[in-house]
A and B are shown apart, each in its own frame.
Chain A
């Protein structure tokens, strides 16, 4: 796409999507807009708002654990904290996260389309998201307080507790539909709206990852929807489905829950891998290594990831044969993930690496995701899992993959695409300072969890034995460093929105995908003329010197 033939002439007179005046103006022009870019921004506002709530809850939990015994909250409140933290972070932040913000904004641009296939459905998904989020927050203020079951809503406790489980369940149910409809929209968009010449193997790798994710969203979400609905109805009408008092089988609930919720972690991580594949070639100034392997490994992860759910249940009662099969399949999922990591590293080899902020986050992603991924393989070994099940090790592993992986990739995407989305540049120096705070704080926060989990510290406890005190103390201090980093990062980003230097350059990083050939910020329907694609993405010519960018903005 770098070829001169594909350079797109944009009309300098057309207003950007931010200034575009459609049927409605002002706030209505946003709330009723079907423009995929505006919807992406709407999602960003919602998702970040919930992220801050989730971080605050996490901060309080770490504060409670700073010393043994009751420090700031009771056991009951602590249970509600980790449930709400889980529900918010999983259903409201990390599942929609990258696809809803960056998928909405960039997927149509990356394939040379004017919008997604169903723009009105897209807006409807955002309203579903908002409704679900409101219900989750409503459970805090309603009498009874938020659910204290953990985000897994395990039976039978979830049909017995007096807290507002139904509200949390309905929130997750509605959010599931929001995510499902987004997936449906993306699949149709990729199939129907690619620009002329944009064959499957000319698609940018993030499009492949959004596409694979969308299939998981469409095929897995209905299972959690029906399962959570059944729990809600069982609570409401005492219908016998899962409650053992009525003859039901709690283990069956766990199966149905994980049939969705394991693939859901791939909904969370695959888009992040897409972002990484997008950023690495740009800042290494090298053609991506093993394009097809990266593309197909996304599909392979989606496929195998749907068949490993019972590794969450090795201690819940399962046949030996079942355990062996699920353990084996779990190991197999590690292969496509590793393929990606090797390809990224191979792309870096002999590249001329530019350590700009997005690249720093991506390199951190590779490091943290490798730790998270390898600890995941450890838990796939049945004998080790018996020891590690329900310990802080699991919490550490999960945060390494999800926060160190998806979270860092999302931060990378903010720093990478922000100049394109808003036409403003952040303070690069401050962004790097924030990165180091976040990276160091992150490891201080979560690495001790791996160690103390290995030594036997259970998860979800508000109290602990004195020998775990040093680890908890380090972890809590880490949480402060991390939060300072987050504050600096978001301060920097928000400040640049108001008073950052204006970016008029189309291609600020020297990227080779379509979004870098249109205006910053893009015009209402992205392209004045639909481009014709002739070359593969990420083609960097050897004789082409890397563009000096530090000076320009």
Chain B
């Protein structure tokens, strides 16, 4: 009787972990190309306005940038640990590390907030008089800076929402040691957020 129900369930619910991962990877391609469009714009303007980009980049706070890089890299680690924990049937440990990841992500956003408000304070924001009086390379640099880090920040927030859902799923037993593809895909997404930052960091903060 019990085996019959089991068979019945298997027939009706379509589950394909490889398919789910394949779909996620395809989605990650599209995200990479989405940012790729902006990386093209960045490289073209960097090429045409070398001196001006060089000077503008010096206005960014490398210390906050470095700090945020460390935070985000660590959050990728905690994400991986949470997946390993669920594989080893340690649900509470997994929940803890998912929470840590969210915490680090929020920490990143708080830093970003202070960084942006400091810039706003100095009158450097899109369409501001201070910025519009600068040379065009300067305007383009900060235009790209706000666009690219802003879009990246949006992805961090989406990631936080996704991980929160995963915590709920883990808590309710939807994500389990033998069915964790949702958490795994969230992890993949989170690493994408991480890797984009790894490219943004040197382009904006380090090459001065």
Residues of chain A having any CB pair with chain B under 8 Å: 114-115, 117-118, 121, 180, 184-185, 187-188, 191-193, 218-219, 221-223, 225-227, 230, 233-234, 237-241, 246-249, 252, 256
A118 touches B23 (CB 8 A): yes
CB distance from B18 to the nearest CB of A (A): 7
Of the residues A114, A121, A184, A225, contact of B34 by C-beta under 8 Å: A225
Near A by CB (< 8 A), chain B positions 41-97 give 41, 44-45, 48-49
Contact with A along B12-34 (1 / 0, CB 8 A): 00101011001100110111011
**Known contacts A192-B22, A237-B127, A241-B147; A222 and B139 CB within 8 A of each other:** no
Q: Distance (Å) between the CB of B36 and the closest chain A CB? A: 7
Q: Please, which residues of chain A bring their CB within 8 A of the CB of B142?
A: 240
Of A191, A193, A218, A241, the residue contacting B41 (CB under 8 A) is: A241
B143 pairs with A239, CB closer than 8 A = yes
For the A-B complex with A114-B14, A246-B132 known, give 5 more contacts whose Cβ atoms are closer than 8 Å. Answer: A115-B14, A221-B30, A222-B31, A226-B34, A226-B37
Instruction: Determine whether B175 belongs to the interface, using a CB cutoff of 8 Å to chain A.
Output: no
Bound together, the chains give a CA A219 to CA B26 distance in angstroms of: 9
Task: Choose from A184, A191, A239, A256 the contact partner of B27 (Cβ within 8 Å).
Answer: A184
Q: Residue B137 contacts which of A187, A238, A247 (CB distance < 8 angstroms)? A: A247
Contact B27 A192 (CB under 8 A): no
Contacts known (A192-B16, A222-B31); A230 close to B44, Cβ less than 8 A: no
Contact call B29/A240, Cβ cutoff below 8 A? no
Cβ B126 vs Cβ A247 within 8 A: no
A421 to chain B, nearest CB (A): 23
Known: A184-B23, A240-B143. A249 touches B44 (CB 8 A): yes
Closest to A246 in B: B139
- Please name all residues of chain B whose beta carbon is closer than 8 Å to the beta carbon of A223 when the two chains form the complex: 33-34, 36-37
Chain B residue at smallest Cβ distance from A259: B37
Smallest Cβ-Cβ distance to A215: which chain B residue: B26
Chain A residues in 8 Å Cβ range of B37: 222-223, 226-227, 256
Q: Looking at the assembled complex, report how far the CB atom of A527 sits from the nearest CB atom of chain B, in whole angstroms.
A: 13
Q: A117 with B16: in contact, given A184-B27, A239-B147, A240-B140 (CB under 8 Å)?
A: yes
Q: Quote the shortest CB–CB distance from A526 to chain B (angstroms).
A: 13
Q: What is the CA–CA distance of A225 and B137 in the complex, to the nearest angstrom?
A: 25
In order of increasing CB-CB distance, the 6 nearest A-B pairs are: A247-B136, A238-B127, A240-B139, A222-B34, A226-B37, A240-B143
Q: Which of A117, A184, A233 contacts B147 (CB 8 A)?
A: A233
Interface residue count on the B side (C-beta < 8 Å) = 36
Q: How far is the CA of A252 from the CA of B37 in the complex (A)?
A: 11
A227 to B35, CA, bound (A): 10
* Nearest A-chain residue to B44, judged by Cβ: A252
Chain A positions within 8 Å of B201 at CB level: none
| Candidates B41, B132, B139, B140; contact of A256 at CB < 8 Å | B41
- A-facing residues in B163-191 (Cβ within 8 Å): none
Bound Cα distance from A178 to B127, whole angstroms:
32
Distance of B98 from chain A, by nearest CB (Å): 24
Counting chain B CB atoms within 10 Å of each CB, the highest count among A180, A184, A246, A247 belongs to A247
Cβ of B38 within 8 Å of any chain A Cβ, yes or no, is yes
Contact B36 A252 (CB under 8 A): no
CB nearest to A187 among chain B residues: B26
Residue of A nearest to B21 (CB): A188
CB–CB A184/B143 < 8 A? no
Distance of B81 from chain A, by nearest CB (Å)? 28
The CA of A226 and the CA of B203, in the complex, are separated in Å by 19
As a 0/1 sequence over residues 130 to 156 of chain B, the CB contacts with chain A under 8 angstroms (1 = contact) are 001001110110111011000000000
Q: Report whether over half of chain A's contact residues are helix, strand or loop; otherwise say mixed.
A: helix
Q: Please, which residues of chain A bring their CB within 8 A of the CB of B19?
A: 117, 188, 191-193
CB distance from A129 to the nearest CB of B (A): 17
How far apart are the CA atoms of A180 and B26 in the complex, in Å? 10
* 7 cross-chain CB contacts under 8 A: A115-B14, A117-B16, A192-B18, A222-B31, A222-B36, A227-B37, A230-B41
Q: CB-CB < 8 A to A193: which residues of B?
A: 19
> In the complex, what residues of B have CB within 8 A of residue A256's CB?
37, 40-41
- Check if B137 sits within 8 Å of A184, measured CB to CB: no
Shortest A21–chain B CB gap in Å is 16
Most buried by A among B38, B41, B135, B140: B41
CA distance A73 to B158 in the complex (A): 46
By the criterion CB–CB under 8 Å, are A237 and B30 in contact? no
| Cβ–Cβ contact A241 & B16, under 8 A | no
Query: How far, in angstroms, from A233 to B41 measured CA to CA in the complex?
Result: 15
Q: Measured between C-beta atoms, what is the minimum distance from A175 to chain B in Å?
A: 15
Assess whether B29 is in contact with A219, with CB atoms less than 8 Å apart: yes
Measured CB to CB, the closest approach of chain A to B203, in angstroms, equals: 16
Measured CA separation A239–B34 after assembly (Å) = 18
Interchain CA distance A102-B192 in the complex, whole Å: 34
Q: Which of B18, B26, B127 contacts A239 (CB 8 A)?
A: B127
Which B-chain residue is minimally distant from A248 (CB atoms)?
Answer: B140
* Neighbouring A residues of B23 by C-beta, 8 Å: 117-118, 121, 184-185, 188
B33 & A188 in contact (Cβ 8 Å cutoff)? no
Nearest CB in chain B to that of A230: its residue: B147
The residues of B that contact A233 with a CB separation of less than 8 Å are 147
Asked whether A241 lies within 8 Å of B18 as measured between CB atoms, the reply is: no
Instruction: Give the distance to chain A from B77, nearest Cβ to Cβ, in Å.
Output: 28
Point out the residue from A222, A237, A241 that lies within 8 Å of B140, measured CB to CB: A241
A188, B27: Cα distance in complex, Å: 11
The residues of A that contact B126 with a CB separation of less than 8 Å are 237-240
Residues of A within 8 A of B48 (CB): 249
In the bound complex, how far is the Cα of B145 from the Cα of A240, in angstroms?
A: 11
A214 CB → nearest B CB, Å: 9
Chain B contacts for A187, CB-based, 8 A: 22, 26
* CB-CB nearest in chain A for B147: A239
User: Chain B nearest CB: distance from A216 CB in Å?
Assistant: 12
The answer to whether A219 and B143 have CB atoms under 8 Å apart is no
Distance in angstroms between the alpha carbons of A64 and B135 in the assembled complex:
46
In the complex, how many angstroms separate the beta carbon of B23 from the nearest chain A beta carbon? Answer: 5
